[in-house]
Structure 1
C-alpha cells in the first residue's frame, strides 16, 4: 500500500511540475510576443523548434541516466565527436545510411563502456563520464587537427532544413525518439526496472532485477542519442566540429532537472525533459531578440536548477 501511494505521489508531482512548466512557457511566450515583433513569426518559431529539437533528444537520454541516480557528463563531447565521425565517413565516400549507422553504433558502444565501467569496476558515473568528456574532445581535435570537416553531401544537410506538415524535420525526430522512450519508461518492465534502480538499488537487486543490465541499458541509450544529436548537428551546420557540443552536457542536465527529473534518482520523464529543453531554448531565443547579454541565460538557468533541486529536496523530506 505504501509503495502504491509513493508511485501515485510521484506521478502527481511529475504532472504538477509539467503543468507548472507549461504555464511558465505560456507566460514567457506571451511576454516575448508583447515585447518583440518577431517572436511569433513563422521563421522564428521554426528556428526555435529546430534549436529545441537537438537539446530535447540529448535531454531525453540524460533523463534516463538521471532516473537511475547517475549522470552522463560526456554527452556534449560525444555530440562533437559524432559530428566529426559522420562527416569524415561521408567525405570519404561512405553512403549516408551506413555513415549514420556506424556513428550510432559508436555511441551505443561508448554507452556500454560507461555502463560496464560503472557496474563492473565500481567507477562513479561522474568520474568515468567526466574522463570521457576530455577524451572525446581530444580525439575529435586530434583526428581533425583542430579544423572543421566540410564538404558534406547536400542530401545529408538538406534533411535538417526541411519541414513536414509545417513542422521542422528535426522536431519530428524528437517525436520519433520521445514516444518510444516514453513507452519504454511507462509501459515496459525495463522502465519499471530503471525507476526501481534509481529508487533503491539494493531492494531492486533483492527483487530479482538485473542492475548491471539496467544501468548498461540507460547509458547505451544515452550514448546512442548523443551520437544521433551529433549526426543531426552535422546535418544542420553542414560541418563536423569536435567542439560543437561544448557545454551541452550541462544544458541537457539542466533541461532534465527543470523538466522534473530528480538528481537523487527515481523521478523524471520524457515530456518534462522536452518541456525543460523548450524552456531553456525560449530563454536563449528571447534574450537574442531582446538584445540581452547572452550570459544572462547561464545565470537564469543556474538559478532555475537551484530552485528546482531545493524544491525536490523539500518534497523528499515530506
Structure 2
C-alpha cells in the first residue's frame, strides 16, 4: 500500500513539474511545422523574448504574492503609472537618467506597500484591496498624463530596454528578466525570508505561532510585487518610446497565468520558481503563434482561459492526491 501511495505521489509531482515543459515543447514544434518561415524567423523570436520578458518580470513579483497565498491585481495599472511618471522625467536635457528609473521603482513600491498594509493591517482580502488600487492607480495614470501618451523621451532612456546584447540580436530585456528570475529563485530557496514566504502560504497560523511576523512579511511581499511592476513599467516605456496611461491592461492576468501555469499553487505554500520562466515563455509563444495563424483575439482569450483553468484543475487534483 505504501509503495502504491509513494508511486502515485511521485507520478503526480512529475506531472505537475514536467507536464508544462512537455506542453511547451509540443507547442514550439507544432508552430515550427505549421509556419516555419514566420515563426522561426529571428525577428519573430526576438519579439517573443521581449514580450515574455516584460510579463516574466511581473510574474516574478506575482510569484512571491501567490506563494504567500495572496493575489495582486494592481500590477498592470502600476506598469502604466510608473511608465508615465518615468516618461515625464526622461525628456532630453531634463534630468539624469537615474531619476526616472528611481521614480518608477518608488511608485511601484508605494503601490505595493498600500496593498500590503491593506491586507496585513486592514484585514482587507487581497482580491478587494488590489482591485481597488488597480482602479485608482489607473485613474492617477490618466490624470498625470492628461489621458494621452507621453512622448519625446531621451535616447539614453530609450536604450535601456530597446537595445541588444553586444553585436547579437538577443534583446537586453532578456538579461533583465533572467536577472530578476535568478534573484527571485535565490531569495525563495536560499534565504530565511524565502522559506518564511512558503511557510506563510502553507499555514499562516502556524507561521505566526513559530515566531514569523506575518503582517510585516506581507507588506514586504506586496512591496516586492509593486517594485517589480514599477521596473516593468519603465522598461515598457523605454521599449515602446512612450509612457502610456493605457499600458499594462490585462497584464495582471498574464502574470497570474504565467505563475499558475508554471506550477505555483494558487492555495499558496508550494511551487518551484523556475516554472515561472516556462509559464511566461509558453504564454508569449502561444500568443505569437495564434497571431501568426490569424486567430481572432477573442478566441485567444478563450484559449488562455481554458489553459488557466486546466492548470488550476491540475493543481487542485495534485493537492487532493497528496492529502
TM-score band, normalised by shorter chain: over 0.9
Q: Offset of 1:16 from its aligned partner?
A: 4.3
Partner residue in 2 for 1:140: 141
Which runs of structure 2 are paired with 1:259-298 in the superposition (5 Å)? 259-298=262-301
Partner residue in 1 for 2:235: 232
Residue 98 of structure 1 pairs with residue 99 of structure 2: yes
How many residue pairs get matched? 311
**Alpha-carbon distance between aligned partners in 1 of 2:149 and 2:29, rounded to the nearest angstrom:** 39
Which runs of structure 2 are paired with 1:133-212 in the superposition (5 Å)? 133-164=134-165, 166=168, 167-212=170-215
1:106-132, Cα deviation, whole Å (9 max, x unpaired): 211221121111111111111110000
Partner residue in 2 for 1:35: 34
1:198-255, Cα deviation, whole Å (9 max, x unpaired): 0000000111111112211210110000000100000011000111111111111111
SS of the residue 2:244 aligns to: coil
Partner residue in 1 for 2:312: 309
SS of the residue 1:90 aligns to: coil
1:154-210, Cα deviation, whole Å (9 max, x unpaired): 111123222216321001001111111100000111111000000000000111111
> What is the TM-score with the length of structure 1 in the denominator?
0.93
SS of the residue 2:66 aligns to: helix
**Alpha-carbon distance between aligned partners in 1 of 2:195 and 2:272, rounded to the nearest angstrom:** 12
> Contact conserved, 1:18 with 1:275, CA < 8 A, in 2?
no
**Alpha-carbon distance between aligned partners in 2 of 1:316 and 1:110, rounded to the nearest angstrom:** 33
> Contact conserved, 1:80 with 1:240, CA < 8 A, in 2?
yes
| Aligned-CA RMSD value | 1.9
Q: Offset of 1:296 from its aligned partner?
A: 2.2
**Alpha-carbon distance between aligned partners in 1 of 2:41 and 2:144, rounded to the nearest angstrom:** 41
> What is the TM-score with the length of structure 2 in the denominator?
0.92
Q: Which residues of structure 2 form unaligned runs of 5+?
A: 1-5
> Contact conserved, 2:111 with 2:133, CA < 8 A, in 1?
no
Q: Which residues of structure 1 form unaligned runs of 5+?
A: 1-5
